[in-house]
Amino acid sequence: MAAFLTPAWISDLDAAACTLALPADLRVVVQQVVRDDDVEVAYVVEIAGGHGRVRPGRAENPDVSFTQDRATAAAIAQGTLSAQAAFLDGRVRLGGDLRSVLNHAAELAVIGDAFATVRATTTW
């Protein structure tokens, strides 16, 4: 069991993303940034060439970026808070072009399903 936002947890997300078969022409880069006080954890979800990858750090030019505090990120990751509700409450800040993600929402939902296996084994 990996703890939320640790390198091992990001590695578990990557392993889940690598199992996906996605449309070969789909290319989306999503940056996640979680901040609390002086601590920041960033990771990138990349979809390209029919495969998914998750890696620690920041993307040079993400299509969209989500920034939130740890409590918000945990609630979204656990499925107890929707990203949309968190955004409307001002708990998530968006950067980039959200249309690039919204245009491929159906394809990207598969990623959320794959990450559910990680969610089930995460220490929160």
**What's 15's domain CATH number?**
3.30.1050.10
Residues of the chain under the 70 pLDDT cut: none
Per-residue pLDDT at 37: 87
What's the half-sphere exposure (Cβ side, CA atoms, 13 Å) at 83? Answer: 14
Per-residue pLDDT at 100: 80
Q: Which domain holds residue 55?
A: 7-116
If one counts every other C-beta atom within 10 angstroms of the C-beta of residue 12, the result is: 20
16 in a structural domain? yes
Per-residue pLDDT at 63: 95
81 in a structural domain? yes
The model carries a pTM of 0.92
Number of folded domains that form the chain: 1
